A and B are shown apart, each in its own frame.
Chain A
Amino acid sequence: MSLFGIALRALVAYVFLLALIRVSGKRIVSEATGMQFVLAIIVGDLVDDAIFASIPFAQLIVAAGTLTLLQLTVAIVAMLDVRAWKILEGAPPILLENGIPRRGAMRHQRINRKEIASLLRLAGISAARWAEIKRARIEEEGIVAVMFHEWAKPAQRNDAEWVKARMRSRPS
């Protein structure tokens, strides 16, 4: 097989996929959902076959193009309708509520307490601070979104001003 042929096919595949990714949004691997990750692997395999001419190039174009169009359509439907979004992408389950892990969600997500602790540590939250958490959800991308109780949120500039005002108004 000619090296020039491989290089040319690789170049065309690169340009084609670059155009598709630019059009469909940048989420392919980083911050990818489970489905997007699977799609990236499928397309990667197709590209490999196309570069080494095991399949005609048109097959890569049709397969990658169809998958991209499907992904876009699913994204549109999920954005337009909350029920469709829940079915297609799944609402992020609550793993931790008021500092207590929810067993049902853990079982459903096949995740144990240690893994929750690990995900929260990656978010900078140690086990000692779990009581501060109002809700922690695991997002489709595999990251944990944490919502703290009001009293546990770090002090803001407004809070400092409120304290100053209270101090000033206090009779000396």
Chain B
Amino acid sequence: MGEGAHAVEALVKALPIATGVVLLALGLVAGSVFGLNDEALFVSPPEIVAQEFVRALAHGHIGSARSMLTRDGQRDTSNEEIRRTSDDLRSRLGRLDDVDASVVERRLDTLFLRTRVQGERDTAELTLPVIREFGEWSITRASDMAGLAGPPTGA
């Protein structure tokens, strides 16, 4: 057998092994998330989800913001609504300077996060409810987005 054939054989053998490595890693992560109820190690912690959601809105990344909503939230919210909120938020706060989120309350499976958004012109604060859906934290109610574009609280 030539060197080329050996190389092909080695690569063909590598395919199922690489697939196995990927499946094993996914299995370990799934075991940790669903079996051991991991809420913040192999899934994005709720604080990060809230921050990324607001960042996506502030940067006008509508699809990205939408993907962080729960299935129900995505069904009930149109892209147009998200875009409007994003536009309002940007016109009110200007360039985003900082986002900070912290858990203030836990009610059954829902966490409430106080999210403070600091822009170059103004600061906004709102409470975002998040729940775990398919192991990941997601923003539940799209209606809470309206708070992001509400009246100024003053810097």
A20 lies within 8 A of B43 (CB):
no
**1/0 contact string of A51-85 vs chain B (CB within 8 Å):** 01111111001100100110011011001100000
B3-26 residues at the A interface, CB under 8 angstroms: 4, 7-8, 11-12, 14-15, 17-19, 21-22, 25-26
B42 lies within 8 A of A9 (CB):
yes
Residues of B within 8 A of A53 (CB): 40, 43-45, 48
Given contacts A23-B17, A56-B42, contact A76 B8 (CB under 8 A): yes
Main secondary structure of the interface of B (DSSP, over half): helix
A25 lies within 8 A of B25 (CB):
no
- Chain B proximity of A167: nearest CB distance (Å): 40
A5 lies within 8 A of B41 (CB):
yes
Residues of B within 8 A of A24 (CB): 14, 18
Q: Is B52 an interface residue (CB 8 A)?
A: yes
B18 lies within 8 A of A65 (CB):
yes
Count how many chain B residues have C-beta atoms less than 8 Å from C-beta atoms of the other chain: 28
B43 lies within 8 A of A72 (CB):
no
Q: Is A111 an interface residue (CB 8 A)?
A: no
Q: Is A155 an interface residue (CB 8 A)?
A: no
Given contacts A1-B48, A9-B42, A53-B48, contact A69 B18 (CB under 8 A): yes
- Residue in A58, A62, A72 whose CB lies within 8 Å of B14: A72
A6-37 residues at the B interface, CB under 8 angstroms: 8-9, 12, 16, 19-20, 23-25
Interface residues, chain A, with chain B CB atoms under 8 Å away: 1-2, 5, 8-9, 12, 16, 19-20, 23-25, 52-58, 61-62, 65, 68-69, 72-73, 75-76, 79-80
The 4 A-B pairs with the shortest beta carbon distances in the complex, nearest first, are A65-B22, A57-B42, A23-B18, A61-B25
